A and B are shown apart, each in its own frame.
Chain A
C-alpha cells in the first residue's frame, strides 16, 4: 500500500486529507509541523509527501531542504499544497525539488486522484536517470536534468492554472526550458511528452 505523508499545521486540513487519502486507497500519515515531519521520517518510509509552506517554527521550504539531506528520501516525490502564491524567486530556488505547487482551496479528491500520476512520473524519471548514468552520463548532469524537469513541470502547471485566476505574476522560464532541452539531448534521453507538464 502506498503511504502518503501530509504535513500541515491546520488540523482540519490534515483531517480532511487523511479522509480523502484513505478513500483513495492510500495509507495516510500526518505531521503538524516540519519538526514532527522529520521526526516521523526517522521511523516511517512514505512514498510521497504533501507539504504545506506556512508553518512554524520551520516552514515548508526549510523542511523540504532538511528532507533532501536524508539519503533515503533524496528522490521522494513532494508536492506543495499551500495557501499562498509562489514568488518567482521561490519557483527558481525550490521548484526543482517538487513536482507541483498547488494553491488552496483545492478539491482534495482531485489532488488525491492525481497522486498516482506523480508517483509514476517520479519512477519514470528515476529510471531514465539510472539508464543514462549506465550509458556513461555524468551523474551531476543527470541530477541537474531531474531538477530542471521538475521545475519546468511545476511552472507549466502554475501557468496553466493561472489562466483561470486573476493574479498577474508571470514567471518566465524560457532559460530553464532551454537548459532542460540541452540536458536532455546531452544525456540521450528521448523527448517524451509525458515527461513534461501534465
Chain B
C-alpha cells in the first residue's frame, strides 16, 4: 500500500525539517514543504496530498486559518494545525475551518503520529459516508416514483427528484429544513395532509388512489421510526397507475361490450321468436285445421332459431342497428326472459 502523502506548511525551516524527518521515519511521504499559504495552495492545484500539516500562524498574505479554509473548501483535504499558541481565540477561529486536530509545539512524536493517523482515518470514514449518501441520492433520484420523508410536523426531511418535480419544489435531497406540507400550498397534494396525520397517529400504513389532472396515482404512506426512537416520520410514495387505470377501463368497457352483445342476443330472441308465436296464436284462434300448414311452418321457424341458439350463433343486423339507435348503455337494458305464453289483453 502506498504511503500516505503529507504537505507541510510551516514558515520556520528548522521546524519543518524536523517534522519531515520524524514523519518520514514513521513511514509517511512528504511531498512538499511550503513557507506560505499561497505557495502551498498553488502547489495543491496540481498535486493533492492525503493530509496537510499547517502552522496556525503563517507569514504572508494568507495566515494559517485562511489557508486551511481554502484547503478544506477547494480540495477537501484533512488539515492538522501546528501551533505554539493554544489560546482560545485562535482555537475559536480555527474551528470554523473544520480541522482534524491540533498539535501543540514543541510536538510529541507519538501525539503527532496518532493525530495524523486519526485524521486520515476519520477523513476516510467521512468520504465513505459522503459516498454512501451520494449513492443513496442517486438511487432515490433514479426511482420514477415520487417519494419523500416527512417529520411529525409535516415538514419535508428528504425528497427525490420525482417528488420535487411533482410539487414544484426546487432542491432535491436537501439538508435544510423544508417547508411544511399543507394541502393547498402544493396543488397536487390536496388529500395528503389528513392522511399523514392519520398515519402519524395510528402508526399504521395506508394506501389510497388519487387523481391529478389526467393521471392516477396510488399513494402509500408508511410510518417510520426516525433516528431517535421517539421520532415519528412518514414515508410518502406516489406510484403512477394511469396506465393501469386505462387498462382497467378497457376491461370494463370490453365487459360492457360483452353485456351489450348478450343484450342483442336477448332482443333477437324477442323479435324472432315472438313473431312466429304471434302468427301461431293467430292461426290457432282462427282455425287450426284450415291453417295447419301455416302453423307448422311457424313452428319450424322457432325450431331453427333454437337450433342456432344451441350452437351459440345468433346474429341480427336489424336488431343490432335498432339497439344502437335507441339504447344507451346496459343500464336501460330491458332484456327479460321471453315468456311467450301469456296472452296479451288489448286496451
Contacts and interface: CB of A to CB of B under 8 A. Distances in A.
A136 to B, nearest CB: 32
B334 A12 contact: no
B278 A104 contact: yes
Interface string B280-296: 11110110000000100
Contact of A59 (B267, B282, B322, B336): B322
B98 to A, nearest CB: 79
A166 B337 contact: yes
Contacts of A16: 278-279, 282-283, 286
Interface string A15-42: 0110110000000000000000000000
A118 B347 CA distance: 7
B333 interface: yes
Interface string B322-338: 10011110001111110
A103 interface: yes
Interface stretch (B115-123, B236-244, B268-276): B268-276
A44 interface: no
B331 to A, nearest CB: 9
B337 A115 contact: no
A76 interface: no
Q: Taking each of A54, A85, A115, which has the highest tally of chain B beta carbons within 10 Å of its own beta carbon? A: A54
Contacts of B113: none
Nearest to B338: A83
Nearest to A60: B322
Contacts of B325: 59, 61-62
Interface string A72-92: 000000010001111111100
Contact of B340 (A55, A105, A108): A105
Interface residues of B, number: 42
A106 B278 contact: yes
B281 A106 contact: yes
Q: Taking each of A62, A83, A114, which has the highest tally of chain B beta carbons within 10 Å of its own beta carbon? A: A83
A198 B345 CA distance: 11
Given A12-B279, A53-B322, A157 B332 contact: no
Interface of B: 267, 270-283, 285-286, 294, 298, 317-319, 321-322, 325-328, 332-337, 339-340, 342-347
Given A87-B326, A167-B336, A168-B336, A13 B278 contact: yes
B327 A10 contact: no
Contact of B334 (A54, A99, A102, A167): A167
Q: Taking each of B278, B298, B347, which has the highest tally of chain A beta carbons within 10 Å of its own beta carbon? A: B347
B262 to A, nearest CB: 15
Contacts of A53: 322
B344 A84 contact: no
B343 A107 contact: yes
A186 interface: no
Contacts, number: 138
B278 A87 contact: no
Contact of A161 (B270, B334, B344): B344
Contacts of B336: 85, 165-169
B343 A105 contact: yes
A164 B328 CA distance: 27
A158 to B, nearest CB: 10
A56 interface: yes
Given A54-B318, A87-B334, A111 B344 contact: yes
Interface residues of A, number: 50
A97 interface: no
Contact of A112 (B328, B332, B346): B346
A17 B342 CA distance: 19
Nearest to B270: A84
B275 A157 contact: no
Contact of B282 (A20, A62, A86, A114): A20
A110 interface: yes
A143 interface: no
A166 B130 CA distance: 77
A62 B321 CA distance: 12
Nearest to A92: B332
Given A106-B344, A112-B346, A89 B271 contact: no
B275 A13 contact: yes
A104 B267 contact: no
Contacts of B333: 87
Nearest to A86: B334
B270 A108 contact: no
10 contacts: A16-B278, A54-B319, A59-B326, A84-B267, A89-B326, A105-B277, A107-B344, A108-B285, A114-B346, A165-B339
Given A85-B334, A85-B335, A105 B322 contact: no
Contacts of B345: 107, 110, 114, 161
